[in-house]
Amino acid sequence: MTGPVAISGSVKPGFEAVRQAFIVNFERRRELGAGCSVFHHGEMVVDLWGGIRDKKTGERWEENTMALVSSATKGIAGLTVALANSRGLIDFDERVSKYWPEFAQQGKERITARQLLAHQAGLYALDVRANTALEADLDRLAVILARQKPAWEPGTRQGYHAITLGFYESELLRRADSKHRSLGKFFHEEIASPLGLDFFIGLPEEIPNSRIARTHTAFPSLSTILARRSLALSVVNPRSRIRRALWGELLADKEHIYPRNVEVPAGGGIGTARAMAHAYGVFANGGGELGLRKETLQQLMAPAVPPTRGFYDEVLKIRGMQLSLGFMKPTPEAPFGHPGAFGALGFGGAFGFADPEAQIGFAYIPNRLEFRFMDPRQSALRIAMYRSIGETDSALLREGSESSG
């Protein structure tokens, strides 16, 4: 117990600094409830949770509490597509239309899977606004996805596909998989079940509300708004690219904190930090448990391939974010591992990544959502983790930048 906040879980000897950073997040950084987990050399060395699961009721965050991870889901979706690549289902450098012929319209004929996964296809928004009924009707959604016209010449620009990326990934996988499984189902059957992960892309009906943390969005400070002024102005503009990109969000109904049996693979993942870290940890150690091919892991570790006009993000209005094969890659503005690391941030602070060079799988999930690019809470935990394994490289021990570029 630290003041009024209960901190639970365990750390292996040598990782006490991560526990201390977790405690300090509650004492100094206004943490509400959170989980953090680290796998190192295939072993779980950090598994912490604490605080409040539900601000309205005061119920505590428990060992198996799950939370919405928003865009950190993209990393789990990326692992799923990577496994499909490893099994020969999807070639990253093949045209999407080879697997999905109807995709070849409106100037999308030559888009490769690599370009799509790198947010370079210009498909960051759809002309049809989504709801849970559309998201649950994969055949109807596929027609809408296929007829969408790119916002720019594919391969020339990067623009964050906040929600649409997951729908395109899922339909690509449905077409490539002989069983025609959606991304959420493929993930459940081929990754989550074999590894015993408490993580879902499409939350089952049987999961009770009592296992799920309610999110609480903190109003950004003036300094944060000024630091990210380009993005802040875009968010309040209903015609901006970021506002258009954010359609299709999960909406609660009267009975559930989050809808059940609806897949939003770019932003609707719900699970524990333990599950995310475990998945990344398996990939960081070569993916032997899943039969991952070395060639696939090498592609995930490779530097991001820039679009012809560079990495400036046309949707988020920022520099310093490099996207590759469904993941973020480390940059000076977004440091999180050795150059071969790969992962994904979620709105509000959730973050998970694999660092194969250090054989690390890391995940952090809060329910107090802050308007930050590289959240100082996860930065403190990540830095403490690297110090615990003896890393002295300043690039690994640096917090991210708030600059919008």
Is pTM beyond 0.85 here? yes
Under the banding of pLDDT at 50, 70 and 90, the label for residue 251 is: very low
pLDDT tens digits, residue range 318-347?
888 999 999 999 999 899 999 999 999 998
For residue 245, with 0-12 CB atoms within 10 Å meaning exposed, 13-18 middle and 19 or more buried, which class applies?
buried
Residue 240 has pLDDT above 90, yes or no: no
Q: Which two tokens stand for residue 323?
A: 């996207």
Average pLDDT over residues 105-125: 97
Residue 351 to residue 348: CA distance in whole angstroms: 9
Q: 307 with 158: CB under 8 angstroms? A: yes
pLDDT at 249: 45
Mean pLDDT of the chain: 90
Under the banding of pLDDT at 50, 70 and 90, the label for residue 256 is: low
Residue 274 has pLDDT above 60, yes or no: yes
Q: Which letter does DSSP use for residue 103 in this model?
A: G
Q: Which two tokens stand for residue 144?
A: 């809408």
Q: 184 with 192: CB under 8 angstroms? A: no
State how far the alpha carbon of 214 is from the alpha carbons of 28, 32, 332, in Å. Answer: 21, 10, 33
- The amino acid sitting at 138 is L
- The amino acid sitting at 284 is A
Residue 150 to residue 161: CA distance in whole angstroms: 12
**Higher-confidence position of 228 and 225:** 228
Under the banding of pLDDT at 50, 70 and 90, the label for residue 405 is: very low
pLDDT at 389: 97
How far from the centroid of its chain's Cα atoms is residue 106's Cα? Answer: 29
pLDDT tens digits, residue range 57-69?
999 999 999 999 9
SS3 content of the chain, % helix, strand, coil (to 5): 35, 15, 45
For the chain, give the percent of residues with pLDDT over 90: 79
Q: Which letter does DSSP use for residue 171 in this model?
A: H
Taking alpha carbons only, the member of 277, 283, 404 closest to residue 340 is 283
| Angle (CA) 94 104 115, round 5° | 40
**Higher-confidence position of 36 and 404:** 36
pLDDT tens digits, residue range 116-159?
999 999 999 999 887 888 989 999 999 999 999 999 999 999 99
Residue 169 to residue 167: CA distance in whole angstroms: 5
Q: 289 with 231: CB under 8 angstroms? A: no
Taking alpha carbons only, the member of 325, 319, 405, 277 closest to residue 92 is 325
Query: Pairing between strand 59-60 and 43-54?
Result: antiparallel
Taking alpha carbons only, the member of 161, 329, 316 closest to residue 228 is 316
Residue 55 has pLDDT above 50, yes or no: yes
- Phi-psi domain of 188 (left: phi exceeds 0; alpha: psi -120 through 50; beta: other): alpha
Q: Which two tokens stand for residue 6?
A: 């209960």
Residue 248 has pLDDT above 50, yes or no: no
Average pLDDT over residues 34-62: 97
Cβ density class 219-243: b for 16+ within 10 Å, e for less: ebeeebeebbeebbebbeeeebbbe
| List of residues 6+ apart from 275 with CB closer than 8 A | 192, 197, 198, 199, 363
CA atoms within 13 A on the CB side of 222: 0
Q: Which two tokens stand for residue 142?
A: 């596929």
pLDDT tens digits, residue range 82-97?
999 999 999 999 999 9
SS3 370: strand
pLDDT at 368: 95
